[in-house]
Amino acid sequence: MDPAMSQLLQKIGPSFAESMGSVFSMLTGREFGVVPGTTESMDHEAVSNLYTGAVVYVKATYTKGVSGHMIFSLPLQEGTQLVDLMLGGDGAASTELAGDSRDALAETFNQIMGSANQALSDLAGETLSISNVEIFSTEAGQPEGLQELLGAGSFDVLSLSTTQENLATTIHLLIPDMLSEQLKRKLGMGQPPEQVPVPAPASAAAASPSASQPSAPAPTPVAAGPTNSGSRQSSVDTGNLDLLLDIELPVMVRMGQTEMALGELLKLTPGSILELNRAADAPVELLVNGKQIAKGEVVVVDGNFAFRITEIESTDTRIRSLS
């Protein structure tokens, strides 16, 4: 594995480990520990031999920022144990993953990717997002079917050791080489160092100019304007702000939020009511790029919902919050 790829996996590994541990713990109500481990390059045959028995592959397709697939692999038995824990069981294993169990595992990794992509987006300085994940299962030691399932090329592989009192396994993060190259560019890995001009030797700088090249006139001094020590200077440098004004940012109005077990989520039907953690007369929040900048109320304008601002942060605070 080239040093840039090893550096990339070491940088993003903690983000995926933290996201996975947090989501597993939240959905099962039990404390999970996830630690990034070894990194190496593998072909389809090596990937097919990571486990024995049946294997589950979780494939997420990037739709923004980069293109390609991010893939997780884990043993089928441990995958069904994880789903049983999420559905309120004691971690019983099953020989198949179907129906609600498959949907539950897909939603779990969809949340993991959403959380990890937020961290990657912060590192890249732009939004990285995926479509919904897909679940596949196959037998270990069968590389011939993996190329069609996972795509061509080799993979950069990161192991994620998962521990919990009823479940301990290793989940592998597989990054196809084409996606690896995009991520390295986005995160500034493996780029050549910026060339710094070498100053001319002092003897050359001190040499008298040639008679055929007149020396440049000295710059005209410019008088400094009066200063106002009493004026309050902005803490935000807006010198290049005009260059950023056309950037599009996601804007969301949040009425409230709640937490629920995955088992309850899967039981939702049309007509179900979710109680939020906000009083009916409390102000609604306006979030830009995931950060709150204002409060207000929902109104109706020309038959459409709208948002009337009642409180808003200062311009400086808003700029700092979006950096």
CB burial of 41-72 (b: ≥16 within 10 Å; e: otherwise) equals ebebeebbebbeebbbbbbbebeebbebbbbb
Angle between helices 76-86 and 100-124 (to 10 degrees): 90
* Cβ-based neighbours of 243, under 8 Å, separated by 6 or more: none
Confidence of residue 87 (pLDDT cuts 50, 70, 90): confident
**DSSP 3-state of 202:** helix
pLDDT at 241: 57
DSSP-assigned beta bridge partners for residue 294 = 286, 312
Amino acid at position 7, single letter: Q
The 10s digit of each residue's pLDDT in 130-160 is 887 899 888 888 887 888 888 888 999 999 9
Confidence of residue 109 (pLDDT cuts 50, 70, 90): very high
Predicted confidence (pLDDT) at residue 282 exceeds the cutoff of 70: yes
The model's confidence at residue 82, banded by pLDDT at 50, 70 and 90, is very high
Contact 7, 189 (CB under 8 A): yes
pLDDT at 194 (0 to 100)? 47
Instruction: Count other C-beta atoms under 10 Å from residue 13's C-beta.
Output: 19
- Residue 173 banded pLDDT, cuts 50, 70, 90: very high
Residue from 26, 194, 191 nearest 114 by CA: 26
Task: Report CA 188 to chain centroid distance, whole Å.
Answer: 16
Checking if the pLDDT of 231 tops 50, the result is no
Q: Kindly report, residue by residue over 1-12, the tens digit of the pLDDT.
A: 678 778 888 888
pLDDT of residue 274: 83
**Mind listing the domains of the chain with CATH numbers?**
3-186 (3.40.1550.10), 249-257+273-323 (2.30.330.10)
Tokens 């692999």 locate to 73
Question: Which band of pLDDT confidence, cut at 50, 70 and 90, is reported for residue 244?
Answer: low
Give which of 248, 57, 99, 84 is closest to 164, Cα–Cα. 84
Over residues 239-264, the mean pLDDT reads 76
Please determine, for residue 99, whether its predicted confidence score (pLDDT) is greater than 90.
no
For CA atoms 114, 115, 121, 123, the dihedral sign is: negative
With cut-offs at 50, 70 and 90, classify the pLDDT of residue 190: low
What's the pLDDT band for 34 if we cut at 50, 70, 90?
very high
Residues 216, 209: Cα–Cα separation, whole Å: 10
Provide the pLDDT for residue 208: 43
pLDDT of the residue at 54 = 92
Average pLDDT over the chain reads 80
Q: Which two tokens stand for residue 97?
A: 């993953």
Among 83-87, 97-101, 172-176, 215-219, the minimum mean pLDDT is found in 215-219
Provide mean pLDDT across the span 238-266. Answer: 76
Contact between residue 88 and residue 261 where contact means Cβ atoms under 8 Å apart? yes
201 residue type, one letter = P
